[in-house]
Chain A
Amino acid sequence: MSKTVKIKKGADIKLVGKAEKIYADYTPAFESVSIKPTDFHGVIPKVLAKPGTKVKAGTPLFYDKDNPKVKFCSPVSGEVSEIVRGEKRRILEFRIKVDGKNEYETFSVGDLSNLTGEQIKEIMLERGLWPFVIQRPFDVIANPDDEPKAIFISAFDSNPLAPDNDFILHGQAELFQLGIDLIAKLTKGKVHLNVSGNQKPDDVFLNTKNVQINKIYGPHPAGNVGVQIHHIDPINKGDIVWTLKPQDILTIARTFKEGKLDLSRVIAVCGSGIKKPRYYKTIAGVPVSEFLKDNLKTDREYRVVSGNPLTGEKVAEDNYLGFYHYQLTVIPEGNHYQFLGWLAPNFNKFSLNRTFFSWLMPNKEYDLDTNMNGEERAFVVTGEYEKVFPFDIYPVHLVKAAIIQDIEALENLGIYEVAPEDYALCEFACTSKIPSQKIIREGLDLVKKECA
């Protein structure tokens, strides 16, 4: 029985530099890849492959200290060249020098349709596929021992400049169905595939079997899986829901089918700082320079963001794409002063608020920079989070509960249902410039530590 959800609260932020729906014609030239343990929130890496170790694609690099079954594997064959460490010797990166031999750790699984849920889980854990399974609450890698009440897949990404899954998955119905059939065995509950109601989704999604297809209408954050869960089958205390992204389903299917870990993926390279915004066929952990060479504008200073402009992470131009990111966004750096900027009409600035004039041009694409447009203040304005937060939750009160670390209040107010990404629009809209994604993450960590 499929559900229809209409989201009213929220906003689509239209930016310059959307990726054109063609694949870039380029020859991969990267010499190293990097898997960053910091991408996996809460994971404490235990090293399996020391520097100098020869690895194949699929060779485990490290495992999670708290959950030793969860292994993280190399996407390519080569040699671990360096383990980059930060403060207190915290491991930041596993760098692997590519040898170009394209060797894989292979395994055989027999008849895919006969595999049980337990067997599938074992293979995913052992072969480095498990990190794709993200659980709610807490927005961390799922604990394989849990029993999820459902699995949710958001078929579309409503973030600014987000890659279009309809384009990426088009024509891969067979593989997608295989992936769905595999992960469906991981839960006794339903697998929800949530498609956009705003435009007709690709047949690859509409024709998928063995899932409940739900239609989600409305502006961003309609594509956020947290919003979809809240409206379709909300998480109560004690419930666990697993989530995956459409491309992850393909990765799982390919790996099972071919008996070797294949972390290739399609990413959108976009933003106003990119000369030719396109889609790129690449692999997890590649250096961002791969996409910036001869493609980065030089007229001003730009910031390279792994991920989308609302939840992404700034990366240096010699750094690497994040493990969970299917988008590389380049936007102007906003490190400049503006004389009486709070008083000026500012026709080129975007605001959800009518004190600026962007409401006059609802379809204009904006070239927004990274300026804070003001300083951090105490909460003054009320009601603005509520306008972009489509949950039956009081968003500001939840943030305040996180600030004062009141676990009981956090639980009561609905911390189990949210992830930092659900607060991204709130953080964007906030007049007082409160870093609410960070605060919610700290709140989640606190509750996880104390209650889980």
Chain B
Amino acid sequence: MKLFRNLLDKIKPNFEKGGKFEKLHPVYDAIETFLFVPNHTTPAKGAQIRDAIDLKRTMVTVIIAMIPAMLFGMWNVGYQHFKAIGEEADLLTNFLYGLKEVLPLIIVSYAAGLTVEFIFASINNHSVNEGFLVSGLLIPLILPIGVPLWMVAVATIFAVLIGKEVFGGTGMNILNVALTARAFLFFAYPSFMSGDKVWINTEGGQLVDGFSGATALGDAASKMPIDTFTQKYSMMESFIGTIPGSIGETSAAAILIGAFILLFTGIASWRVMLSVFAGGYVMAIIFNGFADVLPDNTLFQIPALQHLLIGGFLFGAVFMATDPVTAAQTDIGKYIYGFLVGLFAIMIRVFNPAYPEGMMLAILFMNVMAPLIDHYVIQANVKRRLKRAQVTA
């Protein structure tokens, strides 16, 4: 580390004002601060000591929380592949296959996104924000394995550019960056984002009899009878995650480990997470109650708990809805925001079979609505204060 420090100190003058690469100072700064927490001290007036936390620590905690879902997703890619072609494979083979398939997606996502970030930081001469460290991993985890790499790059660039940088960078964006990328692909290249061809890589083998590459939600949306559905996707399988789906979303168990890390450290808001589950569960229970009205809509009949386990609901609830920048910011607002995310996710899922993945749309919609919720919560606070003044006067 002395070596790094000396090296950095040696090249530093080139990147400072008047240096050869003055324009690239944000790039240098990003690398330097990544390697070393800087020697900045508190200003002369004000808080002389500071909490040990910074944004890098926050973001790396989120990444750690995503690792179980990522590792399981890699394994599941391999597992689904070998299952589809009828081959037996052990844990390591499954995992290595998945690693080979998923790693390029992650690399492309980071490379594309960070390039945009660095360019913008250099143009606007602000520091590179750590937010993309999380977005860059989220994007591949919410995509099907069959998506081409160039699409990942295009979607990521779109999301960082239009979803974030035009608003002023991390902290200023209205929409969740990773979901913006997914929504872009979903509407621009729907054939790569839904259906029954993209969730499992079936290359290099003969498909087994009766193979279907659909996800649980896809099957349900295409009116698979509920008995067949619950037989094909048992509650246990939905929980463990040995079913097809986007890379990181299938395993409730792995995601819940992440949720525990986020909640225990206090990085994610328990208010949002809890109320997303509450909203989704309540909505699903209501639909269960009306199951007889539309007997051929399987989604009405899926047990409420299983609704929360399948599709992207859990992943969205834990990692996307809780994004502090795009969620509601007031405590009361967080309850409302989360509840409506869960409610709309199940509603879109059930009513609109064309978009079985309601979570993405629900979160994006509520991202847009979050400032409105906060506005009313804050106005209530303002009114309370005005009323207090009248009472005493």
Contact = CB atoms under 8 A, between A and B. Distances in A.
Interface of A: 13, 15, 160, 234, 236-238, 303, 305, 309-314, 329, 331, 333-343, 346, 349-356, 358, 368-375, 377-383, 386, 392-394, 396-397, 412-414, 420, 424, 427-433, 435, 437-438
Contact of B55 (A13, A237, A386, A432): A432
A342 B38 CA distance: 10
A351 B385 contact: no
Interface stretch (B42-50, B79-87, B192-200, B355-363): B42-50
Contacts, number: 213
A337 B37 contact: yes
Q: Is the interface of A mostly helix, strand, loop or mixed?
A: loop
Contacts of B49: 13, 15, 160, 309-310, 331, 368-370, 428
B51 A373 contact: yes
Most A Cβ at <10 Å: residue of B39, B129, B169, B327: B39
B390 to A, nearest CB: 9
A428 B51 contact: yes
A353 B4 contact: no
Q: Is the interface of B mostly helix, strand, loop or mixed?
A: loop
A342 B264 contact: no
A73 to B, nearest CB: 25
Given A378-B172, A414-B385, A310 B36 contact: no
Interface of B: 1, 4-5, 33, 35-58, 60-61, 127, 129-131, 168-172, 264-267, 269, 324-325, 327, 329-331, 334, 378, 381-382, 384-386, 388-389, 392-393
A314 B48 contact: yes
Nearest to B168: A378
Nearest to B264: A354
Most A Cβ at <10 Å: residue of B1, B57, B127, B266: B57
23 contacts: A236-B389, A312-B48, A334-B39, A339-B35, A339-B36, A342-B37, A342-B57, A350-B52, A352-B51, A353-B51, A353-B52, A355-B58, A370-B41, A371-B42, A375-B54, A375-B127, A377-B129, A383-B334, A392-B381, A394-B381, A431-B51, A432-B55, A437-B46
Contact of B52 (A311, A314, A349): A349
Contact of B1 (A305, A339, A420, A437): A339
B45 A413 contact: no
B166 to A, nearest CB: 15
Contacts of B41: 303, 333-335, 370-372
A305 B48 contact: yes
Contacts of B42: 334, 370-372
B48 A381 contact: no
A284 B324 CA distance: 47
Nearest to B9: A337
Given A373-B52, A392-B381, A236 B393 contact: yes
B37 A371 contact: yes
Contacts of A355: 53, 57-58, 61, 265-267
A431 B61 CA distance: 13
A374 B46 contact: no
B19 to A, nearest CB: 20
A11 B392 CA distance: 31
Given A374-B54, A428-B47, A336 B170 contact: no
In order of increasing CB-CB distance, the 6 nearest A-B pairs are A374-B54, A378-B171, A341-B37, A236-B389, A349-B52, A342-B56
Contacts of B38: 337, 372, 375
Contacts of A352: 51, 53
A234 B331 CA distance: 22
